[in-house]
């Protein structure tokens, strides 16, 4: 039921969170390792530090949203399983249009994917 009602919304939300989880650390990496002249105006140094802080806040916000979505999808799956114990062949599962299940192990696989894409983007930046 949840799959058919919220499949597209979950897909867009997961894709958006995944994209932001890759892009925000990439921009943070670019800004942190970009040389800032110590002789530049003091307002540029302040804006540089504020930008770094804002990127860190965005990264934490995206990760928190991702964990929040996965956790409550996992809890919904558990509650549906306890509710539907009477159906032997009906497995309760929250998935994104049947592509993959939204459970806690998805966080680790998404983390490895984010790390892989960050390494690729950083390699292209250095070349």
Q: By C-alpha distance, which of 98, 72, 103, 73 is closest to 3?
A: 98
Measure the CA–CA gap between 70 and 61, rounded to whole angstroms.
14
Q: Which two tokens stand for residue 39?
A: 């002789």
Low-confidence ranges of the chain (pLDDT < 70): 1-2, 35-43, 86-92
State the pLDDT at residue 105. Answer: 86
Measure the CA–CA gap between 20 and 89, rounded to whole angstroms.
38
pLDDT tens for residues 54-86? 999 999 999 999 999 999 988 988 888 777 776
């Amino acid at each position: 039921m949840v799959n058919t009602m919220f499949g597209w919304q979950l897909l867009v939300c997961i894709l958006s969170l995944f994209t932001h989880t890759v892009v925000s650390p990439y921009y943070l990496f670019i800004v942190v390792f970009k040389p800032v002249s110590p002789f530049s105006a003091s307002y540029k140094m302040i804006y540089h530090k504020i930008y770094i802080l804002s990127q860190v806040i965005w990264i934490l916000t995206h990760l928190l949203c991702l964990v929040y979505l996965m956790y409550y999808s996992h809890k919904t799956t558990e509650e549906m399983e306890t509710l539907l114990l009477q159906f032997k062949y009906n497995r309760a599962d929250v998935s994104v249009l049947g592509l993959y299940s939204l459970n806690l192990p998805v966080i680790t696989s998404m983390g490895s994917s984010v790390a892989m894409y960050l390494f690729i983007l950083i390699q292209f930046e250095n070349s």
